[in-house]
Amino acid sequence: MTGADPDYDVVVLGGGSGGYACALRSAQLGLRVALVERDRLGGTCLHRGCIPTKALLHAAEVADTARDGARFGVHSTVESIDLAAVLGYQQGVVAQLHKGLQGLVSAASIDYVEGTGRVLSATEVRVGDRVLRGRTLVLATGSTAASLPGLDLGGRVVGSDQALTLTQLPESVVVLGGGVIGVEFASIFRSFGAAVTIIEALPRLVSGEDEAISAQLERAFRKRGITARTGTRFAGATQDETSVTVTLEDGGTLAADLLLVAVGRRPVTAELGFETAGVTLDRGYVVTDERLRAAPGVYAVGDIVPGLQLAHRGFAHGIFVAEEVAGLAPQPVHDRGIPRVTYCDPEIASVGLTESQAREQLGEVRTYSYNLAGNGKSKILGTQGFVKLVGMIDGPVVGVHMIGARMGEQIGEAALIVGWEATPDDVAPLLHAHPTQNEALGEAHLALAGKPLHAHG
Ligand SMILES: Cc1cc2nc3c(=O)[nH]c(=O)nc-3n(C[C@H](O)[C@H](O)[C@H](O)COP(=O)(O)OP(=O)(O)OC[C@H]3O[C@@H](n4cnc5c(N)ncnc54)[C@H](O)[C@@H]3O)c2cc1C
């Protein structure tokens, strides 16, 4: 390096979804990039989040399919769940994707720097005895599992990271928190044969979703034998060699083999020197403007930016910042158009405003719920649920909310409809292949456009 000339155009701190997407797009645009990662390239999503949990959910689905085979005339039973083999399969998926990602980063000629980075200024990051200098600094240090005051993880009290590496399947589990991560793990443990109780302080599960979705999920979970104790506050937990006992604020107690704490994620921003770069933190999150600028020459992406903590939001942030730095003036990423999928059984998929948000923000709206009972493919699968549309009066669809087995796969079209501000009349003439669950989305729009086909009532 010579004089004031920086080594890099972009130094990215953190190699998770947000950070590596930013590094790859920056390199594509001809920028010189350093990517600093202290653990494994791919971050939470690849190693402790999206991919390993969805592999477990797939194994869980296989178990349920085998258990329920007789329903379809195929007599089968689940002999046992070989947890070591399940984890072997899961780790195999992760390892292949990890290798692929490493290949992408090395082919892009990104300078991949292993180690813990500490910000020294808006243009400098120290990693070990190296100081990386960049014109632009991108903070992408992600998030970690949160707990409650006085509730330490250890032994029979685990967070999502430890739940992915259990050596023995519990026979009973209390899941603390009925948000996305809580209900996904509840679903996995139930499919693997455990008795599962969810404790949620709020009045409903998945409280970020439309109320009708929460109600349907609670019904479906009840049928599956998962107990959801909503409106119930946790008071404390004690453990010994054989069990963990959870005390509730109402005085009740629950004993189980395992307590899974799934009460949210907190940003990883403490003591990394962010303030020295002029960055402001608010409850640990990095304060940015809508162009993700945290300070002059400093950007933040992914879970450290307040809002939805989702991998594809991180990818979009990373790409946005790379293009911004390259001077392409990209469109900002708004949380309102981000699709959300919860992969429990039944799956939940949604995008845009819930009915109550739409009424609050837009006034009068119209809604339509298409029951999957009228959808051939859903009947074949034996699943129940619905597609609910929230639309403006004589205007676009502003929210799509779906629940039912495999409905996550329908989110792409729903995101296009909401993102392109399509009206039911725009969607109604589009053909949806028969028999697919995708037809339910088409039928819902036909009905909202005033020309229902396979819709009752
Ligand atoms: C159990 C679980 C399931 C999930 N499932 C889904 C899902 O199905 N779909 C979905 O969209 N999202 C899911 N998520 C959320 C998703 O994983 C995150 O939104 C996403 O990983 C955020 O990306 P990120 O780049 O902001 O942070 P991270 O992926 O957390 O990456 C941050 C990286 O920065 C590194 N780092 C931190 N500090 C430093 C430092 N000082 N120096 C060097 N490196 C550092 C960390 O090691 C880490 O690799 C799930 C999360 C969990 C926990």
Please tell me the distance between residue 307's alpha carbon and the centre of ligand 1 in angstroms: 14
Residue 126 beta carbon below 6 angstroms from any ligand 1 atom:
no
Which burial class, exposed, middle or buried, applies to 99 when counting CB atoms under 10 A from its CB (0-12, 13-18, 19+)?
A: exposed
What ligand 1 atom has the least distance to the C-alpha of 160? 1
Name the residue of 50, 105, 116, 263 to mutate for ligand 1: max ligand atoms within 8 A of Cβ.
50
> CA-CA distance, 163 to 188, in Å (whole number)?
11
In short, whether 366's Cβ falls inside 6 Å of ligand 1 is no
- In the reported structure, the alpha carbon of residue 229 is separated from the centroid of ligand 1 by a whole-number distance in angstroms of 29
Asked if 333 and 312 touch (Cβ cutoff 8 Å), the reply is no
Q: Parallel, antiparallel, or unpaired for β 172-176 and 258-261?
A: parallel
CB of 39 shorter than 6 A to ligand 1: yes
CB-based contacts of 55: which residues, under 8 Å, 6+ apart? Answer: 89, 90, 93, 94
Distance between CA 104 and CA 101 in Å, rounded? 5
What's the CA dihedral at 320, 323, 329, 333 to 10 degrees? Answer: -10
Question: Rounded to two decimals, what is the model's pTM?
Answer: 0.97
Q: Which residue has the tokens 């039911």?
A: 424
pLDDT score, position 454: 87
CB 162 less than 6 A from any atom of ligand 1: no
Confirm or reject: Cβ of 160 under 6 Å from ligand 1. Answer: yes
Q: Please report the pLDDT score of residue 16 as a whole number.
A: 98
Catalytic member of 75, 98, 434, 456? 434
For position 457, what pLDDT does the model report? Answer: 64
* Domains, the chain: 8-145+267-335 (3.50.50.60), 157-263 (3.50.50.60), 346-448 (3.30.390.30)
Q: What is the number of the ligand 1 atom nearest to the C-alpha of 312?
A: 11
Which residue's alpha carbon is nearest to atom 20 within ligand 1? 311
For the chain, the average pLDDT equals: 96
Q: Look at ligand 1, atom 8, and give the residue with the nearest C-alpha.
A: 50
Residues of the chain with confidence (pLDDT) below 70: 1-5, 457
Is 434 marked active-site? yes
For residue 44, how far is its CA from the centre of ligand 1 (angstroms)?
Answer: 3
d(C-alpha 23, C-alpha 62), whole Å: 37
Q: How far is the CA of 116 from the centre of ligand 1 (A)?
A: 15
Q: Residue 17 CA: which ligand 1 atom is closest?
A: 25
Distance 19 CA to ligand 1 centre (A): 10
Structure tokens at 90: 């899961």
The pair of structure tokens assigned to 336 is 């309102």
- Counting ligand 1 atoms within 8 A of each CB, the residue from 35, 44, 303 with the most, and so the one to mutate, is 44
Q: How many CA atoms lie within 13 A of 216 on its CB side?
A: 25
Q: Is the CB of 352 under 6 A from ligand 1?
A: no
Cα(17) to centroid(ligand 1), Å:
6
Cβ contacts of 311 within 8 Å, gap of 6 or more: 17, 45, 49, 50
DSSP secondary structure string for all residues of 158-175 = E-HHHHTT-SS--SEEEE
- The finding on whether 140 has its CB within 6 A of some atom of ligand 1 is yes
Which has the closest alpha carbon to 320: 26, 74, 6? 26
How many Å apart are CA 267 and CA 274, to the nearest integer? 13
Residue 154 alpha carbon to ligand 1 centre in Å: 21
What's the 317 CA to ligand 1 centre distance in angstroms?
13
Contact 16 CB / ligand 1 (< 6 Å): yes
The residue whose CA is least distant from atom 38 of ligand 1 is 141
Backbone angles phi, psi at 353, to 5 degrees: -85, 145
